[in-house]
């Protein structure tokens, strides 16, 4: 069930603002939406009749007498699911309309590149496993969001290249839609992180910010004026492949000198052989981080260089986009204490300086919840966009 395209423009805007605020009185929607109280009342009545929002008393407000009434999303208004392809496993989450995770499930897949047919089969199986933890079935889902690393065109559903798919270019969205029988939207996994922050995290009350993820690869999500920016071809945030050294280290994309080739997990593992015993990549990285924390010079120097490279890349972003906030996330950021000093020093030394406060850096260690919320937010965001598109189409008609 997807009720959103039937909403008026003012109702779609009100729904977005209620989602952002969590709970809000009708009168407090007038200013942010730049609408009259009568229009706000009509819009919220429309949302109530569509069973998308509900009233709740403001028990936190001081004073005597009857508490004022707040509006909030109805958690059971609709449900979505989202998934993320990682190197070696798939994670699926089922979320309610408020973005709360109801159930999750994971399935191991072969490490490295896999075929889309196997991916779709394993996603379907993992979704069934997640749904068993709820009272829902696949037909109850309003949308399914899926994120994977690589060059992903959200509008067409085409993945042009991914380090985890063996048969790209391939239309992953169409393959998933045929199997899941519900609307599917796919995106680059860094955009999932940005949507997670925009809908549920540190960007919830921001209009402009960047999210940089560092783990098996390096990703960038750009939020401008409260919306995700993807570029004309859907490839507008490929921060990982910003060139930081001519004829430099080899990147997974096949080119040389990309930022990712100096910062991502596989880049650290490549150099970890100089400092720790060879073995499984994850074990080597854990040993590298432990030794660096204990003061082992070679191990610490590997992280220092990665911090300098990341700081240089961030400085370039600041000089181009001038964001007020950059949020760092991802698996490698749990070792932020080994990178922080060099990131900060290099960023400040290379970013343009004026008589304004510098960009704020914030670290958000979500863990797996980042991708669960992000994939769900991707589905919810597409439903919200459908609401706006439906309203504009009616106005144009």
Here the CATH number for the domain that contains residue 129 is 3.30.420.40
Assigned domain for 190 exists = yes
Q: What is the mean pLDDT of residues 7-31?
A: 90
What phi-psi label fits residue 100: left (phi over 0), alpha (psi between -120 and 50 degrees) or beta?
beta
Please check the confidence at residue 65 and state whether its pLDDT lies above 80. Answer: no
CB 77 within 8 A of CB 91: no
State how far the Cα of 377 lies from the Cα of 80, in Å rounded to an integer.
9
CATH assignment at residue 29:
1.10.10.10
Query: What's the number of domains the chain is made of?
Result: 3
pLDDT at position 160 is 92
56 lies in the same domain as 116: no
Instruction: Report the pLDDT averaged over residues 302-331.
Output: 92
Decide which of 50, 74, 98 is a domain's last residue: 74
Quote the tokens at residue 381: 């965001």
Strand 89-96 to strand 101-108: parallel, antiparallel, or no bridges (unpaired)?
A: antiparallel
pLDDT surpasses 80 at 300: yes
**Rounded average pLDDT over 7-30:** 89
300 and 349 inside one domain:
yes
* Helix, strand, coil % over all residues of the chain, rounded to 5: 45, 20, 35
User: Do 227 and 279 fall into the same domain?
Assistant: yes
* Tokens found for residue 218: 């390096």
The larger pLDDT score, comparing residue 202 to residue 327, is at: 327
Tell me, yes or no, whether 32 lies in a domain.
yes
Q: Is residue 395 part of a domain?
A: no
Angle between helices 9-21 and 368-396 (to 10 degrees): 160
Q: What is the pLDDT of residue 284?
A: 87
What confidence score (pLDDT) does residue 137 get? 92
* Mean pLDDT, all residues of the chain: 87
The pLDDT assigned to 285 comes to 87
- The answer to whether 93 and 81 have CB atoms below 8 angstroms apart is yes
**pLDDT for residue 396 is more than 70:** no
Highest mean pLDDT among 142-151, 309-318, 354-363: 309-318
Q: Is residue 104 one of the residues assigned to a domain?
A: yes
Least confident segment among 4-13, 17-26, 132-141, 351-360: 4-13
In percent, the amount of the chain with pLDDT more than 90 equals 49
Whether residue 171 sits in one domain with residue 241: no
pLDDT at residue 393 in the model: 47
Nearest C-alpha neighbor of 186 from the set 129, 265, 120:
120
Position 156 in a domain: yes
Q: How confident is the model at residue 63 (pLDDT cuts 50, 70, 90)?
A: low
Is 195's pLDDT higher than 70? yes
User: Alpha-carbon distance 78 to 97, whole Å?
Assistant: 5
CA–chain centroid gap for 369, Å, is 10
Residue 149: name the closest of 22, 250, 58, 239 by CA. 239
Q: Is residue 390 part of a domain?
A: no
Residue 219 three-state SS: strand
In this structure, is residue 392 part of a structural domain?
A: no
Instruction: Looking at the structure, tell me whether residues 184 and 222 fall in a common domain.
Output: no
Query: Are both 24 and 168 inside the same structural domain?
Result: no
**What pLDDT does residue 226 have?**
85
**What is the distance between the alpha carbons of residues 251 and 217, in angstroms, rounded to a whole number?**
10
* pLDDT (mean) for 109-113: 91
Domain boundary among 74, 99, 123: 74
pLDDT at 178: 92
- Assess contact for 159 and 151: CB atoms under 8 A: yes
- The pLDDT value given to residue 64: 62
Task: State whether 190 and 301 are in the same domain.
Answer: no
The DSSP letter of residue 111 is S
DSSP 124-178: HHHHHHHHTTSS--GGGEEEEEEEESSEEETTTTEEEE-TTBSS-SEEHHHHHHH
Report the DSSP beta bridge partners of residue 235: none
**Residues forming beta bridges with residue 34, ordered by sequence position:** none
Note whether 56 and 120 are same-domain residues: no
CA-to-CA separations, 161 to 115, 153, 379, in angstroms, rounded: 12, 10, 22
pLDDT score of 301? 93
* 228 sits in which H/E element: strand 227-229
Give pLDDT, residue 374.
85
> What pLDDT was estimated at residue 394?
47
- Please check the confidence at residue 3 and state whether its pLDDT lies above 50: no
224 and 332 fall within a common domain: yes
Q: By residue range, what is the domain housing residue 184?
A: 79-194+370-384
Specify the pLDDT at position 379. Answer: 86
Same domain, 13 and 130: no
The CA distances from residue 270 to 36, 89, 152, 242, 333, in Å, are: 60, 22, 27, 20, 18
Q: Same structural domain for residues 257 and 355?
A: yes
Q: State which of 43, 74, 105 marks the end of a domain.
A: 74
| Cβ 89 vs Cβ 98: under 8 Å | no
Q: Are 158 and 68 contained in the same domain?
A: no
Non-local CB neighbours of 244 within 8 Å, separated by 6+ positions: 257, 258, 259, 262, 309, 312, 313
* 397 domain residue, yes or no: no
Model confidence band, residue 2 (pLDDT cutoffs 50, 70, 90): very low
Looking at the DSSP bridge assignments, the partners of residue 83 are 92, 146
């Amino acid at each position: 069930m997807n009720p959103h395209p039937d909403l008026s423009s003012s109702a779609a805007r009100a729904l977005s603002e209620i989602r952002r605020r969590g709970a809000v009185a009708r009168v407090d929607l007038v200013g942010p939406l730049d609408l009259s109280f009568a229009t706000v009342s009509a819009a919220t009545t429309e949302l109530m009749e569509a069973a998308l929002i509900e009233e709740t008393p403001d028990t936190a407000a001081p004073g005597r007498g009857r508490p004022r009434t707040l509006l909030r999303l109805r958690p059971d208004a609709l449900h979505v699911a989202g998934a993320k392809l990682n190197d070696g496993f798939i994670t699926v989450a089922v979320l309610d309309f408020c973005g709360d995770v109801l159930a999750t499930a994971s399935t191991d897949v072969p490490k490295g590149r896999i075929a889309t047919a196997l991916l779709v089969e394993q996603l379907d199986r993992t979704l069934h496993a997640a749904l068993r933890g709820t009272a829902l079935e696949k037909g109850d889902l309003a949308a399914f969001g899926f994120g994977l690393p690589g060059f992903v065109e959200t509008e067409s559903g085409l993945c042009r290249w991914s380090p985890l798919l063996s048969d790209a270019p391939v239309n992953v969205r169409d393959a998933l839609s045929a199997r899941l029988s519900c609307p599917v939207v796919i995106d680059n996994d860094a955009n999932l992180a940005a949507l997670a922050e925009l809908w549920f995290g540190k960007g919830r009350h921001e209009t402009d910010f960047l999210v940089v993820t560092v783990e098996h690869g390096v990703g960038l999500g750009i939020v401008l004026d409260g919306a995700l920016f993807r570029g004309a071809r859907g490839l507008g945030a490929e921060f990982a492949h910003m060139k930081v050294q001519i004829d430099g280290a080899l990147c997974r994309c096949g080119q040389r000198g990309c930022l990712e080739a100096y910062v991502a997990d596989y880049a650290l593992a490549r150099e970890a052989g100089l400092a720790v015993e060879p073995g499984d990549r994850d074990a080597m990285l854990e040993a590298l981080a432990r030794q660096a924390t204990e003061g082992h010079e070679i191990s610490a120097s590997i992280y220092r260089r990665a911090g300098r490279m990341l700081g240089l890349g961030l400085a370039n972003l600041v000089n181009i986009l001038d964001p007020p906030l950059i949020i760092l996330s991802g698996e490698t950021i749990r070792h932020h204490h080994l990178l922080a000093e060099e990131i900060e020093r290099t960023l400040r030394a290379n970013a343009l300086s004026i008589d304004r406060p510098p960009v704020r850096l914030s670290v958000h260690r979500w863990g797996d919840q980042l991708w669960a919320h992000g994939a769900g937010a991707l589905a919810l965001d597409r439903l919200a966009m459908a609401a706006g598109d439906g309203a504009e189409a009616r106005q144009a008609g």
